[in-house]
């Protein structure tokens, strides 16, 4: 059970090391939180401007659509009126022809002084105001002719007005198109500005996150003291041990405490903190002891064991149970604990305070 838990811790640790490894080294320029906030705030502000420009463009596009529809409507109306003018002109021509025929007939019967007046008249209006015509008109059609002339005149005037309206509307349409185009250009500029600021915000935020993770990893390393982290695991199952920083505490014979006392249950399994080779030993002070010389040369000293789970000289894997918690040596009669030391230079070199390393690994 303990070995299984230790194995999973090792796996986790390895995964963590793998994840942290690409984050080093630190970028030369560190990103601050306020820089990220500022960039992202700029980006948000620019997004608002872009949205406003989008709305302005949509409004301009709609106004242009309305103008196009209006021009189209007047255009079609003008075409209809022009068609009516043509129809009425044809009717007038037909009636005029009929009257001319009648006038000639009248002349033949001696009723008109001269047919010339009829044929020299250049317009229907002129023709119909001649005194000769009045006689001719008496034979019929005056009322309908008057009506047709009035209608045609009115239609002509209306058509002319429509033409003017159409020109004005076309001017409006052109202006709206111009407004729409410039709004579109403005919108595109705002969009480009937003894309740029948004990219900067994302980039800085990502950079900031990465740097923060790197800083945390470094802080963990610093907390671990002068000894490396990563390839080090807690000598006990973390939840089953307790210890304080007792480095330098006075000990019998004027000695200073050169390790950390890790309290745990009697016979609690203790693990190889790193892969290496073990040397078991026995002494008055340490009782049953193990020197674990890690493959990277660092020496770890275990004391007060109740018993060994390895033979001296054996190679061990990280997390392997190498012994059990006890009170041998000068710990006899006290609470069973592991006296643990770290010697970065290997066996025989000076010890460093193992507390930061343990505190980091045994959380
Ligand atoms: Zn101790």
> When comparing pLDDT for 139 and 65, which is higher?
65
pLDDT range class, residue 218, cuts 50, 70, 90: low
pLDDT of the residue at 15: 53
What is the share, in percent, of the chain residues with pLDDT greater than 90? 42
Residue 24 — very low, low, confident or very high, per pLDDT cuts 50/70/90? very low
What's the whole-number mean pLDDT along residues 112-129? 55
- How close is the Cα of 239 to the center of ligand 1, in Å? 20
Instruction: Calculate how far, in angstroms, residue 14's C-alpha sits from the geometric centre of ligand 1.
Output: 30
Ligand 1 midpoint to CA 58 (Å): 78
pTM of the model: 0.43
In the prediction, which pLDDT does 137 show? 52
CA of 76 to the centre of ligand 1 (A): 104
**Band of residue 92 on the pLDDT scale cut at 50, 70, 90:** confident
**Count of alpha carbons within 13 angstroms of residue 146, beta-carbon side:** 7
Secondary structure, 3-state, the chain = CHHHHHHHHHHHHHHHHHHHHHHCCCCCCCCCHHHHHHHHHHHHHHHHHHHHHHHHHHHHHHHHHHHHHHHHHHHHHHHHHHHHHHHHHHHHHHHHHHHHHHHHHHHHCCCCCCCHHHHHCCCHHHHHHCHHHHHHHHCCCHHHHHHHHHHHHHHHHHHHHHHHHHHHHHHHHHHHHHHHHHHHHHHHHHHHHHHHHHHHHHHHHHHHHHHHHHHHHHHHHHHCCCCCCCCCCCCCCHHHCECCCCCCCEEHHHEECCCEEEECCCCCEEECCCCEEEEEEEECCCEEEEEEEECCCCEEEEEEECEECCCCCCEECCCCEEEECCCCHHHCCCCCEEEEEEECCCCCCCCECCHHHHHHHCC
Residue 27 has pLDDT above 80, yes or no: no
> In the structure, what pLDDT confidence band is assigned to residue 122 with cuts at 50, 70 and 90?
low
Please determine, for residue 310, whether its predicted confidence score (pLDDT) is greater than 50: yes
Question: Residue 303's pLDDT is what?
Answer: 98
pLDDT for 83 equals 86
Q: How far is CA 233 from the centre of its chain?
A: 40
pLDDT given for residue 133 in this prediction: 55
User: Distance, CA 221 to ligand 1 centroid (Å)?
Assistant: 24
Q: Is the pLDDT of residue 20 over 50?
A: no
Interval between CA 42 and ligand 1 midpoint (Å): 58
Residue 114 has pLDDT above 70, yes or no: no
Of 30-34, 183-187, 281-285, where does mean pLDDT reach its minimum? 30-34
Give distance in angstroms: CA of 362 to centre of ligand 1.
17
Per-residue pLDDT band for 187 (boundaries 50, 70, 90) equals very high
What digits encode the pLDDT tens for the residues 63-79?
Answer: 999 998 888 888 888 88
Residue 223: pLDDT over 60: no
- The yes-or-no verdict on residue 302 having pLDDT over 70 is yes
User: Is pLDDT above 70 for 362?
Assistant: yes
Average pLDDT over residues 194-214: 87
1 has pLDDT over 70 = no
- Give the model's pLDDT for residue 130: 57
Q: What pLDDT does residue 257 have?
A: 94
C-alpha 360/C-alpha 363 separation (Å) is 6
pLDDT at 227 (0 to 100): 43
| Distance between Cα 262 and ligand 1 center (Å) | 8
Q: How far is the CA of 285 from the centre of ligand 1 (A)?
A: 10
pLDDT at 336: 97
Given this model, what pLDDT does residue 79 score?
Answer: 87
How many A from CA of 335 to the centre of ligand 1? Answer: 11
pLDDT attached to residue 30: 81
Ligand 1 center to 287 CA (angstroms): 12
Tell whether the model's pLDDT for residue 318 goes beyond 60: yes
- Please give the torsion angle defined by the CA atoms of residues 247, 250, 252 and 257, in that order, rounded to the nearest 10 degrees: 10
Contact (CB, 8 A) for 123 and 92:
no
Residue 97 confidence (pLDDT)? 77
Which range of 88-97, 122-131, 155-164, 209-218 scores highest in mean pLDDT? It is 155-164
Structure tokens at 263: 């309290």
Is pLDDT above 60 for 320? yes
């Amino acid at each position: 059970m303990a070995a299984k838990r230790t194995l999973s811790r090792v796996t986790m640790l390895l995964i963590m090391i793998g994840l942290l490894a690409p984050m080093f080294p630190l970028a030369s320029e560190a990103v601050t939180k306020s820089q990220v906030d500022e960039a992202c705030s700029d980006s948000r502000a620019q997004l608002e401007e872009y949205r406003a420009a989008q709305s302005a463009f949509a409004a301009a596009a709609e106004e242009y659509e309305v103008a196009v529809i209006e021009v189209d409507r007047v255009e079609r109306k003008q075409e209809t009126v022009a068609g009516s003018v043509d129809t009425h002109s044809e009717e007038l021509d037909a009636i005029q022809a009929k009257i001319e025929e009648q006038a000639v007939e009248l002349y033949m019967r001696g009723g008109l002084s001269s047919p010339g007046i009829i044929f020299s008249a250049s317009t229907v209006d002129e023709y119909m105001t001649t005194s000769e015509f009045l006689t001719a008109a008496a034979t019929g059609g005056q009322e309908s002719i008057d009506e047709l002339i009035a209608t045609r005149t009115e239609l002509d005037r209306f058509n002319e007005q429509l033409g003017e309206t159409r020109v004005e509307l076309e001017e409006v349409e052109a202006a709206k198109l111009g407004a729409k185009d410039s709004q579109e250009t403005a919108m595109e500029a705002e969009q480009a500005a937003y894309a740029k600021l948004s990219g900067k915000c994302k980039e800085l935020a990502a950079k900031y996150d990465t740097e923060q993770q790197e800083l945390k990893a470094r802080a963990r390393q610093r907390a671990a003291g002068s000894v490396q982290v990563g390839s080090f695991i807690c000598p006990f199952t973390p939840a089953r041990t307790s210890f304080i920083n007792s480095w330098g505490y006075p000990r019998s014979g004027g000695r200073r405490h050169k390790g950390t006392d890790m309290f745990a249950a009697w016979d609690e399994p203790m693990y190889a903190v790193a892969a290496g080779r073990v040397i078991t030993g026995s002494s008055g002070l340490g009782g049953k002891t193990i020197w674990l010389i890690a493959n990277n040369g660092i020496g770890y000293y275990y004391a007060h064991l109740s018993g060994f789970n390895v033979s001296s000289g054996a190679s061990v894997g990280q997390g392997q149970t190498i012994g059990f918690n006890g009170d041998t040596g000068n710990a006899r009669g006290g609470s069973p604990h592991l006296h643990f030391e770290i010697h970065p230079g290997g066996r025989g070199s000076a010890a460093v305070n193992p507390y930061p390393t343990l505190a980091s690994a045994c959380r």
